[in-house]
Structure 1
Amino acid sequence: MSAHEKTLHPETGGIVVRAIPFSFDEKINPVWYPGRPEWSHMANGASLTMPYLEPFLIKTVREALKKASNQQLKEDVHGFMAQEGNHFQNHRRYNEILKCHYPKLADVEEEMAAEYKNFQAKSLRWRLAYTAGFETMTMGMTEWLIEARRDLFGNADPSVSSLILWHMVEETEHKNVAYDLYEDLYGSYWPRTWGLIYGSFHVAWASRKGYK
Protein backbone atom coordinates (compact mmCIF):
# COMPACT_ATOMS: atom_id res chain seq x y z
CA MET A 1 0.00 0.00 0.00
CA SER A 2 1.40 3.39 -0.96
CA ALA A 3 1.71 6.31 1.44
CA HIS A 4 -0.84 8.15 -0.69
CA GLU A 5 -3.40 5.38 -0.30
CA LYS A 6 -2.83 5.23 3.46
CA THR A 7 -3.33 8.98 3.73
CA LEU A 8 -6.53 8.87 1.73
CA HIS A 9 -8.05 5.99 3.64
CA PRO A 10 -6.55 5.56 7.12
CA GLU A 11 -9.43 3.37 8.37
CA THR A 12 -9.39 0.64 5.75
CA GLY A 13 -6.89 -1.71 7.35
CA GLY A 14 -5.25 -3.99 4.81
CA ILE A 15 -7.74 -3.28 2.01
CA VAL A 16 -6.28 -0.89 -0.56
CA VAL A 17 -8.70 1.75 -1.83
CA ARG A 18 -7.88 2.98 -5.33
CA ALA A 19 -9.86 6.06 -6.28
CA ILE A 20 -9.52 5.67 -10.05
CA PRO A 21 -11.70 8.09 -12.06
CA PHE A 22 -12.27 6.07 -15.22
CA SER A 23 -12.80 8.15 -18.35
CA PHE A 24 -15.16 6.98 -21.09
CA ASP A 25 -15.43 8.45 -24.55
CA GLU A 26 -18.94 9.86 -25.04
CA LYS A 27 -18.97 8.18 -28.47
CA ILE A 28 -17.97 4.76 -27.16
CA ASN A 29 -19.67 1.86 -28.92
CA PRO A 30 -21.91 -0.09 -26.51
CA VAL A 31 -20.71 -3.19 -28.37
CA TRP A 32 -17.30 -2.59 -26.83
CA TYR A 33 -15.97 -5.93 -28.08
CA PRO A 34 -16.32 -5.71 -31.89
CA GLY A 35 -18.23 -8.64 -33.30
CA ARG A 36 -19.37 -9.90 -29.88
CA PRO A 37 -22.59 -8.03 -29.10
CA GLU A 38 -23.97 -10.71 -26.79
CA TRP A 39 -20.96 -10.66 -24.49
CA SER A 40 -20.76 -6.86 -24.62
CA HIS A 41 -24.38 -6.46 -23.60
CA MET A 42 -24.21 -9.11 -20.88
CA ALA A 43 -21.50 -7.04 -19.23
CA ASN A 44 -23.44 -3.83 -19.92
CA GLY A 45 -26.46 -5.30 -18.15
CA ALA A 46 -24.34 -6.16 -15.13
CA SER A 47 -22.90 -2.64 -15.12
CA LEU A 48 -26.42 -1.23 -15.05
CA THR A 49 -27.13 -2.92 -11.72
CA MET A 50 -24.09 -1.56 -9.88
CA PRO A 51 -25.38 1.94 -8.94
CA TYR A 52 -28.34 0.24 -7.22
CA LEU A 53 -26.85 -2.97 -5.88
CA GLU A 54 -23.66 -1.58 -4.39
CA PRO A 55 -25.20 1.34 -2.45
CA PHE A 56 -27.56 -1.26 -0.96
CA LEU A 57 -24.57 -3.38 0.08
CA ILE A 58 -22.83 -0.34 1.55
CA LYS A 59 -25.89 0.73 3.57
CA THR A 60 -26.28 -2.82 4.86
CA VAL A 61 -22.72 -3.27 6.10
CA ARG A 62 -22.64 0.28 7.51
CA GLU A 63 -25.67 -0.56 9.67
CA ALA A 64 -24.19 -3.92 10.67
CA LEU A 65 -20.88 -2.22 11.50
CA LYS A 66 -22.50 -0.60 14.55
CA LYS A 67 -22.99 -4.07 16.05
CA ALA A 68 -19.62 -5.59 15.09
CA SER A 69 -17.28 -6.57 17.94
CA ASN A 70 -13.95 -7.15 16.17
CA GLN A 71 -11.74 -4.11 15.49
CA GLN A 72 -9.99 -5.58 12.45
CA LEU A 73 -13.37 -6.50 11.00
CA LYS A 74 -14.53 -2.92 11.50
CA GLU A 75 -11.49 -1.66 9.59
CA ASP A 76 -12.16 -4.16 6.81
CA VAL A 77 -15.76 -2.97 6.56
CA HIS A 78 -14.52 0.57 5.97
CA GLY A 79 -12.33 -0.75 3.14
CA PHE A 80 -15.28 -2.69 1.71
CA MET A 81 -17.47 0.41 1.66
CA ALA A 82 -14.78 2.59 0.10
CA GLN A 83 -14.01 0.11 -2.69
CA GLU A 84 -17.67 -0.50 -3.48
CA GLY A 85 -18.33 3.24 -3.52
CA ASN A 86 -15.63 3.76 -6.13
CA HIS A 87 -17.03 0.87 -8.18
CA PHE A 88 -20.59 2.06 -8.56
CA GLN A 89 -19.60 5.67 -9.24
CA ASN A 90 -17.47 4.58 -12.21
CA HIS A 91 -20.18 2.26 -13.49
CA ARG A 92 -22.70 5.09 -13.23
CA ARG A 93 -20.58 7.25 -15.55
CA TYR A 94 -20.44 4.45 -18.10
CA ASN A 95 -24.15 3.70 -17.72
CA GLU A 96 -25.08 7.29 -18.54
CA ILE A 97 -23.42 6.80 -21.92
CA LEU A 98 -25.29 3.52 -22.43
CA LYS A 99 -28.59 5.31 -21.81
CA CYS A 100 -27.79 7.81 -24.55
CA HIS A 101 -27.81 4.85 -26.95
CA TYR A 102 -30.66 2.98 -25.28
CA PRO A 103 -33.04 5.40 -23.49
CA LYS A 104 -35.32 2.56 -22.35
CA LEU A 105 -32.61 1.48 -19.92
CA ALA A 106 -33.91 4.26 -17.67
CA ASP A 107 -37.05 2.14 -17.14
CA VAL A 108 -34.90 -0.79 -16.03
CA GLU A 109 -33.09 1.49 -13.61
CA GLU A 110 -36.39 2.63 -12.11
CA GLU A 111 -37.35 -1.00 -11.47
CA MET A 112 -34.04 -1.73 -9.76
CA ALA A 113 -34.26 1.41 -7.63
CA ALA A 114 -37.73 0.35 -6.45
CA GLU A 115 -36.62 -3.21 -5.70
CA TYR A 116 -33.65 -2.17 -3.59
CA LYS A 117 -35.75 0.42 -1.80
CA ASN A 118 -38.13 -2.39 -0.82
CA PHE A 119 -35.21 -4.55 0.27
CA GLN A 120 -34.08 -1.76 2.57
CA ALA A 121 -37.19 -2.31 4.67
CA LYS A 122 -36.27 -5.94 5.39
CA SER A 123 -34.42 -7.11 8.49
CA LEU A 124 -30.69 -6.54 8.85
CA ARG A 125 -30.10 -10.29 8.94
CA TRP A 126 -31.95 -10.69 5.63
CA ARG A 127 -29.98 -7.88 4.01
CA LEU A 128 -26.65 -9.05 5.37
CA ALA A 129 -27.32 -12.62 4.19
CA TYR A 130 -28.07 -11.25 0.71
CA THR A 131 -24.87 -9.19 0.83
CA ALA A 132 -22.68 -12.08 1.98
CA GLY A 133 -24.31 -14.37 -0.59
CA PHE A 134 -23.75 -12.05 -3.52
CA GLU A 135 -20.17 -11.36 -2.49
CA THR A 136 -19.53 -15.12 -2.39
CA MET A 137 -20.84 -15.50 -5.94
CA THR A 138 -18.46 -12.86 -7.26
CA MET A 139 -15.46 -15.07 -6.49
CA GLY A 140 -16.39 -17.59 -9.15
CA MET A 141 -17.09 -14.81 -11.63
CA THR A 142 -13.72 -13.20 -10.97
CA GLU A 143 -11.81 -16.45 -11.42
CA TRP A 144 -13.52 -17.03 -14.77
CA LEU A 145 -12.95 -13.45 -15.99
CA ILE A 146 -9.27 -13.47 -15.05
CA GLU A 147 -8.51 -16.90 -16.46
CA ALA A 148 -10.34 -16.17 -19.73
CA ARG A 149 -9.31 -12.50 -19.97
CA ARG A 150 -7.51 -12.85 -23.29
CA ASP A 151 -10.59 -14.32 -24.92
CA LEU A 152 -13.08 -12.03 -23.15
CA PHE A 153 -11.16 -8.75 -23.42
CA GLY A 154 -8.33 -9.27 -25.91
CA ASN A 155 -9.75 -7.11 -28.72
CA ALA A 156 -12.14 -5.05 -26.63
CA ASP A 157 -12.31 -1.36 -25.78
CA PRO A 158 -9.64 -0.89 -23.08
CA SER A 159 -11.67 1.53 -20.96
CA VAL A 160 -14.55 -0.92 -20.45
CA SER A 161 -12.19 -3.90 -20.09
CA SER A 162 -10.17 -2.08 -17.44
CA LEU A 163 -13.30 -1.07 -15.53
CA ILE A 164 -14.57 -4.65 -15.36
CA LEU A 165 -11.24 -6.27 -14.46
CA TRP A 166 -10.34 -3.61 -11.87
CA HIS A 167 -13.75 -4.00 -10.28
CA MET A 168 -13.62 -7.77 -10.09
CA VAL A 169 -10.03 -7.94 -8.81
CA GLU A 170 -11.01 -5.62 -5.95
CA GLU A 171 -13.95 -7.92 -5.22
CA THR A 172 -11.40 -10.60 -4.35
CA GLU A 173 -9.68 -8.21 -1.94
CA HIS A 174 -12.79 -7.73 0.19
CA LYS A 175 -14.31 -11.13 -0.61
CA ASN A 176 -14.62 -12.26 3.01
CA VAL A 177 -15.78 -9.03 4.68
CA ALA A 178 -19.56 -9.45 4.33
CA TYR A 179 -19.29 -13.13 5.28
CA ASP A 180 -17.20 -12.34 8.37
CA LEU A 181 -19.62 -9.61 9.36
CA TYR A 182 -22.59 -11.95 9.00
CA GLU A 183 -20.82 -14.61 11.06
CA ASP A 184 -19.92 -12.06 13.73
CA LEU A 185 -23.53 -10.91 14.11
CA TYR A 186 -25.58 -14.02 13.34
CA GLY A 187 -23.70 -17.14 12.25
CA SER A 188 -26.87 -18.95 11.14
CA TYR A 189 -26.07 -21.34 8.30
CA TRP A 190 -29.38 -21.71 6.46
CA PRO A 191 -30.25 -18.00 6.20
CA ARG A 192 -26.78 -17.39 4.80
CA THR A 193 -27.23 -20.23 2.31
CA TRP A 194 -30.54 -18.73 1.25
CA GLY A 195 -28.82 -15.36 0.86
CA LEU A 196 -26.27 -16.92 -1.51
CA ILE A 197 -28.99 -18.40 -3.71
CA TYR A 198 -31.37 -15.45 -3.64
CA GLY A 199 -28.72 -12.73 -3.91
CA SER A 200 -26.95 -14.40 -6.82
CA PHE A 201 -30.12 -15.08 -8.81
CA HIS A 202 -31.60 -11.67 -8.10
CA VAL A 203 -28.56 -9.81 -9.40
CA ALA A 204 -28.38 -12.11 -12.44
CA TRP A 205 -32.07 -11.46 -13.15
CA ALA A 206 -31.64 -7.69 -12.77
CA SER A 207 -28.65 -7.80 -15.16
CA ARG A 208 -30.70 -9.79 -17.66
CA LYS A 209 -33.33 -7.07 -17.78
CA GLY A 210 -30.67 -4.64 -18.89
CA TYR A 211 -28.98 -6.71 -21.55
CA LYS A 212 -32.27 -7.89 -23.06
Structure 2
Amino acid sequence: MKKALISLCLSVTLLTLSPSSFAHYVRAERPVVPGESVSAWFRAYDDLHLGATGLKREVFEYALRGLQKMDAKPIISIVDMSQPSTKKRLYVIDLENKKLLFNTFVSHGRNTGELMASSFSNVNSSNKSSLGFYKTLGTYVGKHGVSLKLKGLEKGFNDNAYERAIVLHGADYVCEDFVRRTGRLGRSQGCPAVPNDVSQKIIDAVKGGTCLFVYFPDQDYIKKSTYLAAL
Protein backbone atom coordinates (compact mmCIF):
# COMPACT_ATOMS: atom_id res chain seq x y z
CA MET A 1 0.00 0.00 0.00
CA LYS A 2 2.82 2.39 0.93
CA LYS A 3 4.73 1.66 -2.32
CA ALA A 4 1.56 2.26 -4.35
CA LEU A 5 0.97 5.61 -2.62
CA ILE A 6 4.58 6.73 -3.31
CA SER A 7 4.25 5.71 -6.96
CA LEU A 8 0.99 7.66 -7.29
CA CYS A 9 2.52 10.79 -5.75
CA LEU A 10 5.49 10.60 -8.10
CA SER A 11 3.20 10.25 -11.12
CA VAL A 12 1.16 13.28 -10.08
CA THR A 13 4.35 15.30 -9.55
CA LEU A 14 5.65 14.51 -13.05
CA LEU A 15 2.31 15.32 -14.67
CA THR A 16 2.28 18.77 -13.10
CA LEU A 17 5.75 19.68 -14.30
CA SER A 18 6.12 21.90 -17.36
CA PRO A 19 7.90 20.33 -20.37
CA SER A 20 11.12 22.20 -19.58
CA SER A 21 10.96 21.24 -15.91
CA PHE A 22 10.26 17.64 -16.84
CA ALA A 23 13.32 17.56 -19.12
CA HIS A 24 15.43 18.96 -16.29
CA TYR A 25 14.04 16.35 -13.91
CA VAL A 26 14.89 13.51 -16.29
CA ARG A 27 18.42 14.83 -16.88
CA ALA A 28 19.00 15.14 -13.16
CA GLU A 29 17.88 11.56 -12.53
CA ARG A 30 19.86 10.05 -15.41
CA PRO A 31 23.49 9.03 -14.74
CA VAL A 32 26.02 11.40 -16.31
CA VAL A 33 27.63 8.49 -18.15
CA PRO A 34 26.86 4.76 -18.45
CA GLY A 35 28.95 1.93 -17.03
CA GLU A 36 31.61 2.43 -14.43
CA SER A 37 31.93 5.57 -12.34
CA VAL A 38 33.64 8.59 -13.82
CA SER A 39 36.36 8.46 -11.17
CA ALA A 40 37.25 4.92 -12.26
CA TRP A 41 37.53 6.11 -15.85
CA PHE A 42 39.98 8.83 -14.85
CA ARG A 43 42.10 6.21 -13.06
CA ALA A 44 42.45 4.36 -16.37
CA TYR A 45 45.28 6.72 -17.31
CA ASP A 46 47.48 5.22 -14.60
CA ASP A 47 46.01 1.72 -14.75
CA LEU A 48 46.79 1.42 -18.48
CA HIS A 49 50.15 3.26 -18.24
CA LEU A 50 49.04 5.66 -20.96
CA GLY A 51 51.78 8.12 -20.07
CA ALA A 52 54.35 5.61 -21.31
CA THR A 53 52.68 5.60 -24.73
CA GLY A 54 53.13 9.35 -25.15
CA LEU A 55 49.60 10.45 -24.26
CA LYS A 56 49.61 13.33 -21.79
CA ARG A 57 47.29 13.16 -18.79
CA GLU A 58 45.85 16.56 -19.68
CA VAL A 59 44.75 15.33 -23.10
CA PHE A 60 43.19 12.19 -21.63
CA GLU A 61 41.30 14.22 -19.05
CA TYR A 62 40.10 16.67 -21.70
CA ALA A 63 38.72 13.68 -23.63
CA LEU A 64 36.86 12.37 -20.59
CA ARG A 65 35.49 15.83 -19.82
CA GLY A 66 33.88 15.92 -23.26
CA LEU A 67 32.68 12.32 -23.07
CA GLN A 68 30.71 13.12 -19.93
CA LYS A 69 28.67 15.60 -21.98
CA MET A 70 27.87 13.08 -24.70
CA ASP A 71 25.38 10.26 -24.99
CA ALA A 72 28.06 7.79 -26.04
CA LYS A 73 29.32 4.30 -25.36
CA PRO A 74 32.27 3.94 -22.94
CA ILE A 75 34.86 3.56 -25.71
CA ILE A 76 36.87 6.67 -26.52
CA SER A 77 39.26 7.38 -29.40
CA ILE A 78 41.84 10.13 -28.96
CA VAL A 79 43.86 11.62 -31.83
CA ASP A 80 46.65 13.63 -30.22
CA MET A 81 47.87 15.98 -32.93
CA SER A 82 50.29 17.70 -30.60
CA GLN A 83 52.51 14.71 -31.43
CA PRO A 84 54.32 14.37 -34.79
CA SER A 85 52.76 12.08 -37.36
CA THR A 86 55.65 9.64 -36.94
CA LYS A 87 54.32 8.78 -33.48
CA LYS A 88 51.49 6.36 -32.80
CA ARG A 89 49.12 9.11 -31.72
CA LEU A 90 45.75 7.35 -32.00
CA TYR A 91 44.51 5.78 -28.77
CA VAL A 92 41.34 3.67 -28.67
CA ILE A 93 40.43 2.96 -25.06
CA ASP A 94 37.71 0.70 -23.65
CA LEU A 95 36.99 2.51 -20.39
CA GLU A 96 34.49 0.01 -19.04
CA ASN A 97 36.84 -2.96 -19.41
CA LYS A 98 40.02 -0.93 -18.83
CA LYS A 99 41.77 -1.93 -22.06
CA LEU A 100 43.89 -0.03 -24.56
CA LEU A 101 42.42 -1.55 -27.70
CA PHE A 102 44.63 0.21 -30.25
CA ASN A 103 47.62 2.54 -30.25
CA THR A 104 48.65 3.25 -33.82
CA PHE A 105 49.38 5.83 -36.51
CA VAL A 106 46.80 8.31 -37.75
CA SER A 107 47.10 10.95 -40.47
CA HIS A 108 46.27 14.62 -40.55
CA GLY A 109 45.13 16.70 -43.53
CA ARG A 110 47.63 17.67 -46.22
CA ASN A 111 47.12 21.39 -45.51
CA THR A 112 47.25 20.92 -41.76
CA GLY A 113 51.02 20.49 -41.77
CA GLU A 114 53.97 18.33 -42.77
CA LEU A 115 55.49 16.32 -39.91
CA MET A 116 53.65 18.39 -37.30
CA ALA A 117 50.04 19.50 -37.43
CA SER A 118 49.65 23.25 -37.10
CA SER A 119 46.59 24.53 -38.99
CA PHE A 120 42.98 23.35 -38.73
CA SER A 121 39.75 24.18 -40.51
CA ASN A 122 36.04 23.44 -40.64
CA VAL A 123 35.76 24.69 -44.24
CA ASN A 124 34.87 22.59 -47.28
CA SER A 125 37.77 21.71 -49.60
CA SER A 126 40.33 23.04 -47.09
CA ASN A 127 42.07 19.64 -46.95
CA LYS A 128 42.64 20.32 -43.25
CA SER A 129 41.83 18.35 -40.13
CA SER A 130 39.18 19.64 -37.73
CA LEU A 131 39.56 19.74 -33.97
CA GLY A 132 37.07 18.66 -31.35
CA PHE A 133 34.60 15.97 -30.40
CA TYR A 134 32.88 13.67 -32.86
CA LYS A 135 30.36 10.89 -32.55
CA THR A 136 30.88 7.79 -34.67
CA LEU A 137 28.03 6.73 -36.94
CA GLY A 138 27.65 3.85 -39.38
CA THR A 139 29.90 2.43 -42.08
CA TYR A 140 29.90 2.43 -45.87
CA VAL A 141 32.16 1.08 -48.60
CA GLY A 142 34.00 3.79 -50.56
CA LYS A 143 37.25 4.30 -52.44
CA HIS A 144 39.19 3.42 -49.28
CA GLY A 145 37.12 0.31 -48.57
CA VAL A 146 35.04 0.12 -45.41
CA SER A 147 34.92 3.60 -43.89
CA LEU A 148 33.28 5.08 -40.80
CA LYS A 149 31.07 8.16 -40.94
CA LEU A 150 31.64 10.84 -38.30
CA LYS A 151 29.40 13.55 -36.89
CA GLY A 152 31.22 16.68 -35.73
CA LEU A 153 29.63 18.00 -32.55
CA GLU A 154 31.32 21.37 -32.15
CA LYS A 155 29.84 24.36 -33.95
CA GLY A 156 32.45 26.34 -35.83
CA PHE A 157 35.16 23.74 -35.29
CA ASN A 158 34.02 20.45 -36.83
CA ASP A 159 30.26 20.59 -37.45
CA ASN A 160 30.85 20.53 -41.23
CA ALA A 161 32.62 17.17 -41.00
CA TYR A 162 29.71 15.12 -42.34
CA GLU A 163 29.19 17.49 -45.29
CA ARG A 164 32.95 17.44 -45.97
CA ALA A 165 32.92 13.62 -45.96
CA ILE A 166 35.44 13.52 -43.11
CA VAL A 167 35.51 9.84 -42.22
CA LEU A 168 37.77 7.31 -40.55
CA HIS A 169 39.30 5.00 -43.15
CA GLY A 170 42.35 2.91 -43.93
CA ALA A 171 45.14 4.17 -46.20
CA ASP A 172 48.36 2.71 -47.61
CA TYR A 173 50.23 5.96 -46.82
CA VAL A 174 49.67 5.42 -43.09
CA CYS A 175 52.43 2.96 -42.26
CA GLU A 176 56.01 2.66 -40.98
CA ASP A 177 57.39 2.15 -44.49
CA PHE A 178 56.06 5.56 -45.59
CA VAL A 179 57.65 7.13 -42.51
CA ARG A 180 61.03 5.53 -43.32
CA ARG A 181 60.93 6.81 -46.90
CA THR A 182 59.71 10.36 -46.26
CA GLY A 183 60.37 11.19 -42.63
CA ARG A 184 56.67 11.73 -41.98
CA LEU A 185 53.34 9.99 -42.37
CA GLY A 186 51.26 10.40 -45.49
CA ARG A 187 48.46 12.94 -45.35
CA SER A 188 44.75 12.85 -46.11
CA GLN A 189 42.19 15.39 -47.31
CA GLY A 190 41.29 15.99 -43.69
CA CYS A 191 40.24 12.51 -42.64
CA PRO A 192 41.78 10.62 -39.71
CA ALA A 193 43.22 7.80 -41.82
CA VAL A 194 44.69 4.73 -40.11
CA PRO A 195 46.82 1.78 -41.25
CA ASN A 196 45.08 -0.56 -43.66
CA ASP A 197 45.98 -3.66 -41.67
CA VAL A 198 44.01 -2.54 -38.61
CA SER A 199 41.39 -0.21 -40.11
CA GLN A 200 38.60 -2.80 -40.16
CA LYS A 201 39.27 -3.84 -36.57
CA ILE A 202 39.32 -0.23 -35.36
CA ILE A 203 36.12 0.61 -37.23
CA ASP A 204 34.35 -2.43 -35.80
CA ALA A 205 35.43 -1.46 -32.29
CA VAL A 206 34.30 2.17 -32.42
CA LYS A 207 31.36 2.34 -34.84
CA GLY A 208 27.82 3.14 -33.80
CA GLY A 209 27.97 5.81 -31.13
CA THR A 210 31.39 6.20 -29.52
CA CYS A 211 33.41 9.35 -28.90
CA LEU A 212 36.31 10.53 -31.07
CA PHE A 213 38.37 13.47 -29.80
CA VAL A 214 40.86 15.24 -32.07
CA TYR A 215 43.20 17.32 -29.91
CA PHE A 216 45.73 20.08 -30.50
CA PRO A 217 46.75 22.76 -27.95
CA ASP A 218 44.96 25.49 -29.89
CA GLN A 219 44.01 28.09 -27.28
CA ASP A 220 41.10 29.45 -29.31
CA TYR A 221 39.57 25.98 -29.44
CA ILE A 222 40.29 25.18 -25.79
CA LYS A 223 38.69 28.43 -24.61
CA LYS A 224 35.60 28.21 -26.83
CA SER A 225 34.79 24.50 -26.75
CA THR A 226 31.60 23.83 -24.80
CA TYR A 227 32.72 20.23 -24.40
CA LEU A 228 35.89 21.27 -22.55
CA ALA A 229 34.12 23.72 -20.28
CA ALA A 230 34.10 22.71 -16.62
CA LEU A 231 31.20 20.49 -15.58
* TM-score category of the 2 structures, normalised to the smaller one: under 0.3
- Higher RCO (CA-CA < 8 Å; seq separation 6+): 1
- By percentage of residues, which structure has more strand? 2
Larger radius of gyration: 2
Scaled by the length of structure 2, what TM-score is found?
A: 0.24
Scaled by the length of structure 1, what TM-score is found?
A: 0.26
